Structure 1
Amino acid sequence: MQENKETLSVTLVQADLHWENVTANLATFEEKLAALPEPVDMIVLPEMFNTGFTMNTALAEPMNLTTTRWMKQIAKQHNALVVGSFTVNEGGNFYNRLLCARPDGVLAHSDKRHLFKMGGERDHHTAGNARLTIEWKGWKICPLVCYDLRFPVWSRNLQSDPYDILLYVANWPTRRAHAWTTLLQARAIENQCYVIGVNRVGSDGNGLEYKGDSAALDYLGEPVVLLGNQEAEKIVHISKADLMAYRQSFPALSDADDFEIRC
Structure 2
Amino acid sequence: MSNTLKITIVQSELYWENAEENLKMFSEKIAAINTETNLIILPEMFSTGFSMNPADLAEPAGGRTFKWMVSQAKNYNTAITGSVIISENDHFFNRLFFIYPDGHFEKYDKKHTFTFAGENEVYANGTERLVLDYKGWKICPLICYDLRFPVWARNTEDYDLLIYVANWPKVRTLAWDTLLQARAIENMAYCVGVNRVGVDGNIHEYVGHSAVYDPVGKNVSTCSVGEFTETIILEKKHIQENRNRFRFLNDRDSFKFV
Q: Normalising to structure 2: TM-score of the pair?
A: 0.99
Does residue 68 of structure 1 match 2:58? no
Match of 2:162 in 1: 166
Match of 1:14 in 2: 11
Listed as ranges, the gaps of 5+ residues in structure 2 are none
How far residue 226 of structure 1 moved from its aligned partner, in angstroms, is 3.5
**Which aligned pairs between 1:160-199 and structure 2 lie closer than 5 A?**
161-199=157-195
Match of 2:133 in 1: 135
CA–CA distance in 2 between the matches of 1:195 and 1:122? 26
How far residue 43 of structure 1 moved from its aligned partner, in angstroms, is 0.4
Contact preservation (8 Å) 1:46, 1:169: yes
CA–CA distance in 2 between the matches of 1:78 and 1:229? 27
Identity of aligned residues (%): 48
CA–CA distance in 2 between the matches of 1:244 and 1:42? 21
CA–CA distance in 2 between the matches of 1:62 and 1:110? 15
User: Which one of the candidate residues 152, 155, 158 is aligned to 1:157?
Assistant: 155
User: Which one of the candidate residues 40, 51, 54 is aligned to 2:51?
Assistant: 54
* Matching residue's letter, 2:99: A
CA–CA distance in 2 between the matches of 1:178 and 1:65? 36
CA–CA distance in 2 between the matches of 1:184 and 1:231? 20
Match of 2:83 in 1: 85
User: Which one of the candidate residues 93, 96, 100 is aligned to 2:94?
Assistant: 96
CA–CA distance in 2 between the matches of 1:209 and 1:122? 21
How far residue 104 of structure 1 moved from its aligned partner, in angstroms, is 1.0
Length, aligned pairs only: 257
User: Which one of the candidate residues 20, 23, 28 is aligned to 2:25?
Assistant: 28
Q: Normalising to structure 1: TM-score of the pair?
A: 0.97
1:154 aligned counterpart, secondary structure: helix
CA–CA distance in 2 between the matches of 1:192 and 1:94? 34
Larger CA deviation: 224-233 vs 171-180: 224-233
2:101 aligned counterpart, secondary structure: coil
CA–CA distance in 2 between the matches of 1:156 and 1:55? 29
CA–CA distance in 2 between the matches of 1:251 and 1:149? 24
Match of 1:38 in 2: 35
How far residue 162 of structure 1 moved from its aligned partner, in angstroms, is 2.4
Match of 1:120 in 2: 118
1:180 aligned counterpart, secondary structure: helix
How far residue 78 of structure 1 moved from its aligned partner, in angstroms, is 1.4
CA–CA distance in 1 between the matches of 2:256 and 2:12? 36
* Matching residue's letter, 1:48: M
CA–CA distance in 2 between the matches of 1:181 and 1:256? 24
User: Which one of the candidate residues 210, 222, 228 is aligned to 2:206?
Assistant: 210
Match of 1:245 in 2: 241
1:223 aligned counterpart, secondary structure: coil
Match of 1:234 in 2: 230
CA–CA distance in 2 between the matches of 1:242 and 1:43? 21
Cα deviation, 1:120-145, whole Å, max 9, x if unaligned, reads 10010000000000110010000000
Contact preservation (8 Å) 1:216, 1:223: yes
Contact preservation (8 Å) 1:98, 1:112: yes
How far residue 261 of structure 1 moved from its aligned partner, in angstroms, is 1.4
* Matching residue's letter, 1:144: L
CA–CA distance in 2 between the matches of 1:80 and 1:168? 19
Cα deviation, 1:160-202, whole Å, max 9, x if unaligned, reads x221000000000000000000000000000000000000000
CA–CA distance in 1 between the matches of 2:173 and 2:247? 31
2:59 aligned counterpart, secondary structure: coil
Contact preservation (8 Å) 1:16, 1:202: yes
Contact preservation (8 Å) 1:191, 1:253: yes
